Amino acid sequence: MVDHEVDTSAGTAVVDAGAVDRRGALGVASDGVLARVRAGAGELTGALRRVAEHVLSDPEAAARATIVELAERSGTSPATITRFCRAMGFDGYADLRLGIAAETGRARSAGWTVDIGREIQPGDPLSRVLDQIMAADTRAMHDTAALLDLSEVERAAVAIAGASRVNIFGASGSALVGEEMQFSLHRIGVAAWAWNDVHEGLASAALLRQGDVALGISHTGQTRETIEMLAEAGSRGATTVALTGFPRSPLAELADIVLLTASQATTFRPDALSARHPQLVVLDLLYIAVAQRTHDRAHAAFRRTAQAVDGHKAAKGAGA
């Protein structure tokens, strides 16, 4: 591995020379420019990190700026801007500008250009808050679609469809998302368990074997308990899947299959909270993909489970 120090005059950043190749292998779509920058920003430091933060703070202004203007506004140098473009997988600044311009243009035409970077104020009317939440979630969904490698979803679906046991690991908010996935898989006859206690999760992971599947959920990919449980499952031969927002995180590095999500933070909803809806969308896609591959079994199981709870529905016309 070769490390390169860049732009020592404006602050030092160290970038793994192999990062560009590995990021490209994740299949980031060309139209997910800002999603690519968000996903990669966490890996950068110093001058390169400042460029990423400036681009994300005002993408439209970045798309209009020359390389010299962007360097001045971010407190770096044109050489750093060029290195930043390459770190993000672009040949040069012209490609980055064109990509950002195209993406922000689509956002305007789609009608979700509310200033989601603006802080929600105590006196904001609920209509304004609703618009901001909708815009942020829409942006996150589009970014997730751009980041997501469908071949990885396919691999995960095939593994789950053929598994005798599926373990799902997560903590805090990720645990809630995991429980939703467990519920969905149970409805179509897939033996799945969701664990948020590290002791119980490790004990269950130790009983997994080849052919089983373990899914670890963590937006940052740095939750120690989730990493430990997924690592234990992998050591027993289970196929490991990571659902995370960071492709170079510890959780992603140890997983056989990586499913990426994006998030768009707003006031009172930091990244970890704003990631819930994109996570649920990806897991819904994975669930449907599993159901497609087990169609007859899934259809029969879904019908039986629906009939089992049907008697607990309130009768039509019944009083309160």
Do both 194 and 305 map to the same domain? yes
Is residue 23 in a domain? no
Angle between helices 33-41 and 126-147 (to 10 degrees): 90
Q: What is the pLDDT of residue 258?
A: 97
Provide the β-strand partners of residue 216: 169, 242
Asked if 72 and 154 sit in the same domain, the reply is no
Tell me if 13 sits within 8 A of 5, measured CB to CB. Answer: yes
Residues 156 and 285 in one domain: yes
At residue 30, the pLDDT reads 43
On whether both 98 and 153 belong to a single domain, the answer is no
Instruction: Give the count of beta carbons closer than 10 Å to the beta carbon of residue 16.
Output: 15
In a domain, 301, yes or no: yes
**Do 82 and 155 share a structural domain?**
no
What gap in Å lies between CA 139 and CA 255, rounded to an integer? 27
Question: pLDDT tens per residue, the chain (320 residues)?
Answer: 333 333 333 333 333 333 333 333 333 344 578 877 877 777 788 899 899 888 888 888 888 889 999 999 999 999 999 999 988 888 888 888 888 888 776 655 555 455 555 677 788 889 888 888 888 888 888 888 888 999 999 999 999 999 999 999 999 889 999 999 999 999 999 999 999 999 999 999 999 999 999 999 999 999 999 999 999 999 999 999 999 998 889 999 999 999 999 877 666 666 667 788 899 999 999 999 999 999 999 999 989 988 888 888 876 665 55
Domain termination residue (choose one: 111, 133, 165)? 111
Clarify whether residues 154 and 302 are in a common domain: yes
Residue 86 is assigned to a structural domain of this protein: yes
Q: Are residues 159 and 201 in the same domain?
A: yes
Q: What single DSSP character describes residue 239? A: E
Residues 171 and 213 in one domain: yes
Which CATH number is 224's domain given? 3.40.50.10490
In a domain, 135, yes or no: no
Alpha helices in 111-216 (DSSP H): 126-147, 150-161, 173-187, 198-206
Is 91 part of any domain?
yes
Structural contact between residues 211 and 163, judged by C-beta atoms closer than 8 angstroms = yes
Q: Which tokens sit at 161?
A: 């469809």
State which residues form the domain around 244.
145-309
Is residue 47 included in any domain, yes or no? yes
Distance in angstroms (rounded) separating the CA atoms of residues 179 and 241: 16
What is the C-alpha to C-alpha distance for residues 41 and 51, in angstroms, rounded to an integer?
9
Residue 252 confidence (pLDDT): 96
**CATH code of the domain in which 45 resides:** 1.10.10.10
Do 72 and 186 lie in one domain? The reply is: no
C-alpha to C-alpha distance for 176 and 29, rounded to whole angstroms: 29
Residue 61, domain member (yes or no): yes
In this structure, the answer to whether residues 165 and 261 fall within a common structural domain is yes
Closest CA to 89 of 2, 18, 20: 20
- Residue where a domain stops, chosen among 90, 111, 132: 111
pTM recorded for the entire structure? 0.69
Question: Do residues 48 and 83 touch, judged by C-beta distance below 8 A?
Answer: yes
Cα-Cα end-to-end distance for the chain: 68
- The domain boundary, picked from 62, 88, 111, lies at 111
Q: How do strand 13-16 and strand 3-6 relate by DSSP bridges? A: antiparallel
Total domains present in the chain: 2
In degrees, rounded to 5, the angle at the alpha carbon of residue 151 between the alpha carbons of residues 149 and 156 is 100
Domain-embedded: residue 255: yes
Q: Are 101 and 93 within 8 A, CB to CB? A: no
Residues 207 and 270 in one domain: yes
What are the distances in angstroms from CA 212 to CA 111, 166, 207?
Answer: 44, 6, 10
**Whole-number pLDDT of residue 281:** 94
Residues 173, 283, single domain; the answer is yes
